[in-house]
Amino acid sequence: MDGILLVNFIDFLVDFVISIILVALYLAVYTFATTHNEFELIRRNVISAALSLGLSLIGFALPLSSAIVNTTTVLALVLWGIIALVVQIIVYWLVRILVPNLTGRIAQGEIAAACLLGAASLSAGIINAACMTF
C-alpha cells in the first residue's frame, strides 16, 4: 500500500512540476505577445490588465488540467500544454482584430476590452479542454 502511495505521489509531483513550468512558460510567452506589460500594469493596480491576464491564465489552466488527466506520458503533457498555449495566443490575436487598439485599451484600464478578451480566452480554454478528452 505504501509503495502505491509513493508511486502516486511521484506521479503527482512530476505532473505538478511540469505544469508549473508550463504555466510559467505560458505567462512569459503570453505577456510578450500582448505587447503591454501586464505585470507592470497590475503593480500599478490596473484592474483591466489583471482581469484579462487572470482569465487567460484560467483559459490555459483548464486544458492543461484536462491534459494531465488524459495523458500518460510527460511528453504528451508537454505537447498538449504547448497546444493550449498556442490556442490562447491565437485567441488574443483574433480579439485584437475585433477590438482596435486592444492592448492600449487594456493598458488604459478599459474593463470592457479586458472582459471581452478574458471571456474569449476562457471560452477557448473550455472548448480546448473538452477537445482534449481522448
CB neighbour list of residue 79: distance below 8 Å, 6 or more residues apart: none
At 134 the pLDDT is 65
Q: How many whole angstroms separate alpha carbon 37 and alpha carbon 49?
A: 9
At 4 the pLDDT is 75
Per-residue pLDDT of the chain (134 residues; tens, 9 = 90+): 566 777 789 999 999 999 999 999 999 999 999 988 999 999 999 999 999 999 999 999 999 999 999 999 999 999 999 999 999 999 999 999 999 999 999 999 999 999 999 999 999 999 999 998 76
